[in-house]
Structure 1
Amino acid sequence: MHPAVLIAAALLDRILGDPPGWPHPVRLIGRGLSVLERLAPERPLARRLYGAACTLAMAGACALAVSLLVSPPLLGLAAALYFSYAGLALGCLVREARDVMGFLDAGDLPGARRAVAMLVSRETATMDEAAVRRALAETVSENLCDGFVAPLFYLTLGGPALLWAYKAVSTMDSMWGYRTPRFRELGWFSARADDVLAFVPARISALAIVASGVVLGRPARGLFGRIRIDAARSASPNAGWPMAAAAWVCGAGMGGSAIYFGQVVEKPRMGPDGKWDARVLHLLLRIVSLSGTLLISVAAFMLAVA
């Protein structure tokens, strides 16, 4: 992996994001998973083993396909740039978050609900403005890790092939990793695999958020102890780290009641009692964007000296 390819991929991500209508490997993976789900057995143990086999096979197939495509001398360089760019999703995340904030700033709550529904799995139809803002803050901070830091981590470690092995597992977790009767057994292995693969990137994400906050003049004294305590309250071993970091750095709270698949879920509280008003949400987006820049710089430097 050449640092120039990494930097070019990051720039394309910031400039282009994920243009609607363009082909994307994640959508291809999603279509494949839909077919595999229809073939899944019904018995719980067989369903769990089938889900594990599908996870390993999909990750291996994606890694092999990308490895072959990036191998030719000239076309391989273009393929490496494309697959690196397509695996990073910070530009799209920031752009979609700004769309939600635009609806909120215009006083269009129904539009904000529809826009945030594209980013979260919780139900949004009955959300008030404060709930929309909190949901946006939570998903932006969590997806900094899932959509950018973790892919960047594996891209730096093993190039586009390892990146897309991770993306395959992450996509499977996004589609199958729910604790519902439909997916509890089928998605068990992919959810656990995603937990393992995101363990280090989640903590890097929290560190990057704190570092970016310091650059922007936010205090950092005593934050890591608070972040660690709040992160431990999350049901996920990883999601709580960037969420707690964003909450404490921005000075606003996360957690509380949310509706998932018709059921009210009380999510653990993180951070202080501050509100996610327009000013604080804009601060969060600045921190997330700066976190991406800092981590790209570190990754490019590591590749250059390796």
Structure 2
Amino acid sequence: MTTFISVFIIPALAVMLDSLLGDPKNMPHPVRLIGKFLDIYEKTARKTHINLRTAGWGAVILFASVVWGVVELVTAIPYVGVLIGLYLAYAGLALGCLIRESRQVVRLLDSGNIIEARTALSMLVSRDTTELDAHGIRRTLAETVSENLNDGFVAPLFYLCLFGPGGLWAYKTVSTMDSMWGYRTERFCDLGRGAAKTDDLLAWLPARITAYLMIFAAGLRGLNMNKAKKKFKADAQKMESPNAGWPMAAAAWLIGGQMGGPTMYFGALKDKPILGPSGKLWDKAMIRALISLCDRTGTIAAWGFIPVLGWLSLAF
């Protein structure tokens, strides 16, 4: 159930808390709880020898529905429900933490602590960082910051402003499921198919909004948008994911650094599509400019989504 508080007040306060405090690491986090239940579901599905593709689609429907229902139930508790809703909204947004941890990687790298920079970067990405040089660290950081601007902030905020905390956590449930099961490996190709396809669908519009907001934010900062507007869409369509390439390609062309190329995942080298100007390495100024651009884009998204999507939610 959407109310003025759930689609206006709670999102605004949640964005402020995310910016000020970052991820609530020392408090119970819903993602960890959802992950535990997903592990139990996976083990049960494999033990019972159920069709894993059917089990995967069933998990999407079951978990998203149950999580949405539970959130709606607890946020309807008199007096304390609003506070619970605020915490859940704040816990579902991750821009503040992303920006802070990214800047920490940059500080470590710029001070010459490349080993510590690799370790800090490994907390943000799923790929192998142990052999990365300074250029590789910056390129990897650029890719993860631009992609996670949508996955960790714009898309969750989009659903928060439209449907309140329940909608946000239904989306986050699917996103968590995709993160755990969405790999194209023998183990997960069937079980994770439903989550991957649903996540692609739910993130389709937010990813494109993110890319255009980045271009708008770049214009406000005086960056040259013309080349980016001409080239980023063609690059975005090179990616296997229908969504990840949009913010990544926009960022690559706006800042002028190459993303993609040979990348190590789980011990295997993968040749990712080239996004942005080929051969252009990321330097200190470029990576700092990208992080600032993503931070500004998140701010623009917040203060655009809250009034517009909140009004749409209440009107319809």
| TM-score bracket relative to the smaller structure | over 0.9
The C-alpha deviation readout for 1:140-177, integer Å capped at 9, x for no partner, is 00000100010011111111101100000000101111
Alpha carbons 1:51, 1:187 under 8 Å: kept? yes
Distance 1:128 1:81 in 2: 41
- 2:18 matches 1:25: no
Distance 2:138 2:83 in 1: 39
Match of 2:3 in 1: none
Q: What secondary structure, in the 3-state scheme, does the structure 1 residue paired with 2:225 have?
A: coil
Q: What secondary structure, in the 3-state scheme, does the structure 2 residue paired with 1:34 have?
A: helix
Cα distance change of structure 1 residues 42 and 269 upon mapping to structure 2, 3 Å threshold? farther
- 2:114 matches 1:125: no
Match of 1:165 in 2: 170
Match of 1:295 in 2: 301
In structure 2, what residue type is equivalent to 1:277?
Answer: D
Match of 2:158 in 1: 153
Alpha carbons 1:45, 1:185 under 8 Å: kept? no
Cα distance change of structure 1 residues 242 and 44 upon mapping to structure 2, 3 Å threshold? farther
Distance 2:25 2:104 in 1: 14
Match of 1:192 in 2: 197
Alpha carbons 1:62, 1:161 under 8 Å: kept? yes
Name stretches of at least 5 consecutive residues in structure 1 with no aligned partner: none
Q: What secondary structure, in the 3-state scheme, does the structure 2 residue paired with 1:41 have?
A: helix
The C-alpha deviation readout for 1:30-71, integer Å capped at 9, x for no partner, is 111121221122799701111111121111111011000111
Distance 2:246 2:39 in 1: 31
Match of 1:276 in 2: 282
Distance 1:87 1:202 in 2: 17
Q: What secondary structure, in the 3-state scheme, does the structure 1 residue paired with 2:26 have?
A: coil
Distance 1:92 1:276 in 2: 22
Match of 1:237 in 2: 242
Cα distance change of structure 1 residues 37 and 2 upon mapping to structure 2, 3 Å threshold? closer
Match of 1:144 in 2: 149
- Equivalent residue pairs, number: 306
Distance 1:91 1:276 in 2: 23
Q: How far 1:21 sits from its partner (Å)?
A: 2.5
Alpha carbons 1:41, 1:50 under 8 Å: kept? no
Bigger drift between 157-166 and 118-127 goes to 118-127
Name stretches of at least 5 consecutive residues in structure 2 with no aligned partner: 1-5
Match of 1:58 among 53, 60, 63: 63
Alpha carbons 1:248, 1:271 under 8 Å: kept? yes
Alpha carbons 1:44, 1:185 under 8 Å: kept? no
Match of 2:92 in 1: 87
Alpha carbons 2:24, 2:91 under 8 Å: kept? no
In structure 2, what residue type is equivalent to 1:184?
Answer: C
Q: What secondary structure, in the 3-state scheme, does the structure 2 residue paired with 1:234 have?
A: coil
Match of 2:114 among 86, 109, 112: 109
Distance 2:92 2:30 in 1: 8
Q: TM-score normalized by structure 2?
A: 0.93
The C-alpha deviation readout for 1:74-127, integer Å capped at 9, x for no partner, is 212112211111111100111111121121011111111111111111111111
In structure 2, what residue type is equivalent to 1:235?
Answer: E
Distance 1:57 1:290 in 2: 36
Match of 1:34 among 39, 46, 49: 39
Match of 2:72 in 1: 67
Alpha carbons 1:250, 1:283 under 8 Å: kept? yes
Match of 1:182 in 2: 187
In structure 2, what residue type is equivalent to 1:288?
Answer: C
Alpha carbons 2:22, 2:97 under 8 Å: kept? yes
Bigger drift between 268-277 and 82-91 goes to 268-277
Cα distance change of structure 1 residues 304 and 52 upon mapping to structure 2, 3 Å threshold? closer
Cα distance change of structure 1 residues 247 and 43 upon mapping to structure 2, 3 Å threshold? farther
- Percent identical among aligned pairs is 46
How much is the aligned-residue C-alpha RMSD, in angstroms? 1.6
Alpha carbons 1:97, 1:136 under 8 Å: kept? yes
Q: What secondary structure, in the 3-state scheme, does the structure 1 residue paired with 2:45 have?
A: coil
Distance 1:56 1:224 in 2: 37
